[in-house]
């Protein structure tokens, strides 16, 4: 392609809308344009990158025996009602765009495709003989994200590869899950990216095992905790660890003591000269279930630890049947307005004990009449601990479970693991932290969707059973931008060769010099002929402008038909380290072809 004939517009200045380097660079280099919040146009250079990423993804999926298809983006609400996700996705999480057509039928724009594919499987899969199968598509997804940002990283319209597999048994699912794990490792490595596979939370999608693939980069929205022995890595949402040992409480006698102005752990430790590890703090949450019931939750956790709301949500989902629900619509720390709705009398905030009386809750249809009391594992072995006295300005010291307080029955792990904690698999290892961009996520779904939607098969014994499912996503557009986030310098993008929009660019410094034009045209033609995808900068611009632009757009190899033509040579520059060399004109095509092939391996 000739730059003179392309829609080629670069910007000198960083666009104000962009916060992170990859977003700035893609805008400045003319790869993308913002059309609306979280909505982008993929311009010709970007589209080539996206197609290259898609092709690598496609090849690895095909190699793992998955079959490509294309599912509808417009999805009937009824399908989502069958799975029980319509309310959660349109109202609670609100992630799904929904609409009503001229026949008054409700539809959603696909944020993901479990419902659609399960319907297909329900219709078409009858027997164990048809299993296992794995279907995938590469398609635009729609999600009404709360905070669309960072360009293609978190869009409201973005490209995803999603795959869904069907099995007769968990063992068969495990096999495909492992094959997908390998396929994902291959595709990300082939795209030229450094990544880490981490244990992940399964979230609203449901199911048991799941793993995320993180591109390591400072701008990542996710925190990863890992050990240096390479044996453990997890998203902080899911991570477990050993908390620091608790210090001995200095209060061996049970007493209620006046502790004015100590409504935070920090103030209390200062006032009592004690360690936060000797304190049981009681954190109040309120959870709204899809049944319409609101439940007040009291979590008792060690003073130096924080509640992990993802883990807490998972526990609350497990307990949903007790409140006639199946899903959590909202979890929050009730603010003053929220408290006014249910608190029968002023709460002793900052001084709450694990046994806060249930009569703080006004009796009402909408609220469960009792606190749901959960204790985190970090507090069950504490002796002589300090905790609130249910009275503003007072704490209970030297308390023990089953003396001053009854240990609540529901013992859970809802603490947030932190960098510096000891690892569970080997306490000599401490957890380290890194930022990551999640580009892929593989899940073992089990029978959640097949059961809800009645998708069954007949096994060898002639019995009807629900299909066992897995699902596997890759953020194609997010991955393309993550590649930039991992590889750029002050002058612009440095594309990995495998996903660069073009491999090489031939720059004519002076378009009034016939000799320069002749050599450039010839190299341009021959390089393209041998499969080195090459641009020709034949614009009527100053050489300096052209060099700046080629660096900005990040094409791996630049060939300049400049001064050295006199001695039958051109200048060849590698973008990554800006290494420049003179090369005989007749060697250029073969050398570049070899470089491209080597770089793609």
Contacts to ligand ATP by CB under 6 A: 112, 143, 145, 154-155, 158, 160, 438-441, 473, 475, 477-478
At a CB cut-off of 8 Å and minimum separation 6, what does 554 contact?
25, 29, 484, 488, 492, 493, 494, 495, 500, 575
Q: How far is the CB of 487 from ligand ATP (least distance, A)?
A: 18
Q: How far is the CB of 149 from ligand ATP (least distance, A)?
A: 9
Gap between the Cα atoms of 94 and 86, Å rounded: 10
> Within 13 Å of residue 330, how many CA atoms lie on the same side as its CB?
12
Please say whether the beta carbons of 414 and 376 come within 8 A.
yes
Gap between the Cα atoms of 431 and 480, Å rounded: 29
Which C-beta is closer to ligand ATP: that of 404 or that of 438?
438
Residue at shortest CB range from ligand ATP: 475
Beta bridge partners of 410: 374
Gap between the Cα atoms of 394 and 411, Å rounded: 26
Which C-beta is closer to ligand ATP: that of 76 or that of 110?
110
Which C-beta is closer to ligand ATP: that of 71 or that of 386?
71
Gap between the Cα atoms of 180 and 168, Å rounded: 17
Would you call 296 helix, strand, or coil by DSSP?
A: strand
Which C-beta is closer to ligand ATP: that of 132 or that of 155?
155
Gap between the Cα atoms of 21 and 128, Å rounded: 50
Which C-beta is closer to ligand ATP: that of 479 or that of 570?
479
**From start to end of 227-327, where are the E strands?**
233-235, 255-258, 280-289, 294-302
Q: What is the residue-wise DSSP string for 363-419?
A: P-TTB-SS-EEEEEHHHHT--SEEEE-SSTTEEEEEE-BTTTBPPPSEEE--BPP-T
Which C-beta is closer to ligand ATP: that of 439 or that of 588?
439
Q: How far is the CB of 453 from ligand ATP (least distance, A)?
A: 19
Integer angstrom CA distances of residue 349 from 11, 117, 217, 342, 357: 54, 49, 40, 15, 13
Q: How far is the CB of 516 from ligand ATP (least distance, A)?
A: 43
Which C-beta is closer to ligand ATP: that of 9 or that of 41?
41
Q: How far is the CB of 498 from ligand ATP (least distance, A)?
A: 18
Q: How far is the CB of 112 from ligand ATP (least distance, A)?
A: 6
Closest CA relative to residue 490, chosen from 445, 551, 571, 406: 551
Closest CA relative to residue 182, chosen from 471, 553, 540, 442: 442
Integer angstrom CA distances of residue 49 from 21, 43, 45, 495: 18, 10, 7, 9
Q: How far is the CB of 378 from ligand ATP (least distance, A)?
A: 27
Would you call 590 helix, strand, or coil by DSSP?
A: helix
Which C-beta is closer to ligand ATP: that of 155 or that of 348?
155
Q: How far is the CB of 154 from ligand ATP (least distance, A)?
A: 4
Q: How far is the CB of 475 from ligand ATP (least distance, A)?
A: 2
Torsion of CA 20, 21, 25, 26, to 10 degrees: -50
Q: How far is the CB of 309 from ligand ATP (least distance, A)?
A: 14
Q: How far is the CB of 479 from ligand ATP (least distance, A)?
A: 7
Helix (H) or strand (E) holding 9: none
Would you call 449 helix, strand, or coil by DSSP?
A: helix
User: CB 321: neighbour CB atoms within 10 A?
Assistant: 11
Q: How far is the CB of 409 from ligand ATP (least distance, A)?
A: 32
Q: How far is the CB of 187 from ligand ATP (least distance, A)?
A: 12
Which C-beta is closer to ligand ATP: that of 112 or that of 416?
112
Give a three-class secondary structure readout of 127-194: EHHHCCEEEEEEEEEECCCCCCECHHHECCEEEEEEEEEEECCHHHHHHHHHHHHHHHHHHHHHCCCC
Q: How far is the CB of 583 from ligand ATP (least distance, A)?
A: 40
Which C-beta is closer to ligand ATP: that of 237 or that of 571?
237
Which C-beta is closer to ligand ATP: that of 238 or that of 478?
478
Closest CA relative to residue 509, chosen from 565, 555, 557, 582: 565
Q: How far is the CB of 213 from ligand ATP (least distance, A)?
A: 7
Q: What is the residue-wise DSSP string for 216-236?
A: E-TT-SEEEEE-TTSS-EEET
Which C-beta is closer to ligand ATP: that of 158 or that of 342?
158
Gap between the Cα atoms of 597 and 130, Å rounded: 39
The tokens 């109040």 sit on which residue?
A: 284
Which C-beta is closer to ligand ATP: that of 396 or that of 477?
477
Which C-beta is closer to ligand ATP: that of 122 or that of 143?
143
Which C-beta is closer to ligand ATP: that of 109 or that of 298?
109
């Amino acid at each position: 392609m000739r730059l003179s004939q392309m829609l080629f517009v670069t910007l000198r200045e960083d666009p104000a809308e962009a916060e992170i380097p990859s977003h700035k660079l893609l805008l400045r280099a003319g790869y993308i344009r913002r059309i609306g919040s979280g909505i982008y146009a993929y311009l010709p250079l970007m589209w080539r990158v996206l197609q290259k990423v898609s092709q690598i993804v496609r090849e690895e999926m095909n190699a793992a025996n998955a079959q490509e298809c294309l599912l509808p983006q417009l999805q009937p609400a009824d399908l989502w009602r069958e799975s029980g996700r319509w309310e959660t996705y349109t109202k609670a999480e609100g992630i799904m765009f929904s609409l009503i057509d001229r026949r008054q039928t409700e539809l959603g724009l696909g944020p993901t495709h479990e419902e659609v594919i399960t319907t297909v499987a329900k219709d078409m899969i009858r027997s164990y003989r048809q299993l296992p199968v794995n279907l995938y598509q590469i398609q635009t997804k729609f999600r009404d994200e709360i905070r669309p940002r960072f360009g293609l990283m978190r869009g409201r319209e973005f490209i995803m590869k999603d795959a869904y597999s069907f099995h007769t048994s968990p063992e068969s699912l495990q096999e495909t899950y492992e094959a997908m794990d390998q396929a994902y490792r291959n595709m990300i490595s082939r795209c030229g990216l450094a990544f880490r596979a981490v244990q992940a939370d399964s979230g609203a999608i449901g199911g048991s095992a799941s793993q995320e693939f993180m591109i390591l980069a400072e701008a990542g929205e996710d925190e990863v905790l890992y050990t240096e022995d390479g044996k453990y890595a997890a998203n902080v949402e899911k991570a477990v660890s050993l908390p620091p040992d608790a210090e001995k409480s200095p209060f061996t006698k049970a007493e209620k003591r006046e502790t004015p102005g100590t409504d935070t752990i920090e103030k209390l430790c200062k006032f009592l000269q004690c360690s936060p590890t000797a304190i049981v703090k009681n954190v109040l949450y309120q959870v709204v279930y899809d049944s319409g019931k609101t439940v007040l939750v009291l979590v008792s956790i060690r003073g130096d630890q924080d509640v992990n709301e993802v883990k807490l949500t998972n526990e609350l989902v497990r307990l949903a049947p007790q409140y006639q629900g199946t899903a959590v619509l909202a979890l929050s720390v009730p603010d003053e307005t929220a408290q006014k709705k249910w608190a029968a009398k002023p709460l002793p905030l900052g001084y709450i004990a694990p046994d806060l009386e249930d009569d703080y809750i006004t009796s009402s249809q909408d609220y469960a009449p009792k606190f749901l009391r959960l204790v985190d594992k970090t507090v069950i072995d504490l002796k002589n601990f300090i905790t609130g006295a249910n009275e503003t300005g007072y704490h209970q010291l030297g308390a023990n479970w089953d003396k001053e307080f009854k240990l609540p029955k529901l013992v859970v792990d809802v603490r947030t693991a932190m960098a510096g904690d000891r690892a569970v698999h080997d306490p000599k290892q401490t957890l380290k932290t890194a930022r990551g961009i999640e580009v892929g996520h593989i899940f073992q779904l089990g029978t959640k969707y097949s059961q809800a939607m009645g998708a069954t098969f007949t096994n060898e014994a002639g019995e009807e059973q629900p299909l066992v499912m897995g699902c596997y996503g890759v953020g194609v557009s997010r991955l393309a931008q993550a590649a930039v986030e991992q590889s750029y310098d002050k002058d612009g993008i440095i594309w990995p060769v495998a996903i660069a929009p073009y491999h090489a660019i031939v720059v004519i410094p002076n378009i009034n010099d016939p000799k320069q034009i002749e050599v450039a045209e010839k190299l341009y033609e021959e390089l393209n002929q041998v499969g080195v995808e090459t641009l020709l900068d034949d614009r009527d611009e100053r050489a300096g402008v052209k060099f700046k632009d080629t660096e900005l757009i990040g094409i791996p190899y630049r060939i300049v038909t400049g001064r050295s033509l006199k001695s039958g040579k051109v200048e060849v520059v590698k973008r990554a380290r800006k290494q420049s060399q003179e090369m005989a004109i007749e060697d250029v095509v073969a050398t570049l072809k070899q470089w491209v092939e080597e770089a793609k391996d």
